[in-house]
Amino acid sequence: MIPGPFSYHRPQTLADAVKLLSTLGDEARPLAGGHSLVPMMKLRLAAPAHLVDLHGIDGLKGVSRDGNRIVIGAMTTQHELLASGEIANSLPILHETALQIADPQVRYRGTIGGNVANGDPGNDMPALMMTLGASYQLQGQGGTRDVPASDFYQGAYFTALEPGEILTSVSIPVPAAGHGFAYQKLKRKVGDYATAAAAVMLTMADGKVATCAIGLTNLHETPLLAADAARCVIGTSLDAATLKKAATAAEAIMSPAADARGPIEYRKHVGGIMVMRALQRAASRAS
């Protein structure tokens, strides 16, 4: 289908973009990569009267190190994340996750900001950002504020963004040296959203799990942190019984929709399997 009529704006500064979005109100939407918004417009599930294109704004791209944190501009594409030596060295799980998003054509245009700001439960980055303890910088007419990723998601397509605010960057603590990581994703075909996915970050000491965080993708109306499942594995060597216990704890907080990817019980079951596999792979990488 063809989108409905809209006015196109291409501001050159962040201040101009914020002013436009604040002035135009609910009739305006920011445009980043467009891979979520434009298909919804074509299906007439979204019909903004104004699109505010963020591509002309300097300073919204790039990966940099700020002390013990990695800062990523919101308009940085998935392809640029994959090409970044800083990401490969400091945040290899981000590299692994970006490589599983859609296909190369989408990754050339899709941005990290669009992926995390949209509130789509099927997007891969939100649960990963929660697992990593990331925070988002939001810019509005009232100034700048930082919101932890764990507090950002309120419901499917509902987030902590206030009217007129733009997500400008993502800040991620640099993980401990020797950490283990994995993003385990089950999908029907290349380019599809996850049927179920799990992100794991952990550290090991003397053959046992010392710290652990587990995030879940597309298994609820928001991304999830499986805190009880992570606690299950602390102090263990990830034996079979512990892995099963962690999967059961993770499944207890899942509430996926029944859709073309499968019925609810199937998606919860494979969600538990993704948790177990991610834990095992992360532990195998830890040193």
CA distance 124 to 260: 18
pLDDT surpasses 80 at 1: no
| CATH code, 7-48 | 3.30.43.10
Residues of the chain with CATH 3.30.390.50: 180-285
What are residue 198's DSSP bridge partners? Answer: 184, 216
Query: For the chain, how long is the longest CA-to-CA vector?
Result: 62
pTM over 0.75: yes
CB 216 within 8 A of CB 192: no
- Class assignment of domain 180-285? alpha beta
CB 213 within 8 A of CB 202: yes
**pLDDT tens by residue, 126-155:** 999 999 999 999 999 999 999 999 999 999
pLDDT of residue 158: 95
Closest CA to 153 of 62, 69, 216, 72: 216
The label of the residue with tokens 């602390």 reads 234
The amino acid sitting at 27 is E
| 24-45: burial string, b at 16+ Cβ within 10 Å, e else | beeebbbbbbbbbbeebbeeee
Residues of the chain with CATH 3.30.43.10: 7-48
Residues of the chain with CATH 3.30.465.10: 63-173
192 φψ region: left (φ > 0), alpha (ψ -120 to 50), beta (else): beta
What distance lies between CA 61 and its chain's CA centroid?
17
The amino acid sitting at 265 is E
Fold of 63-173: 3.30.465
pLDDT of residue 213: 98
Instruction: Please compute the mean of the pLDDT values over residues 90-108 and round it to a whole number.
Output: 94
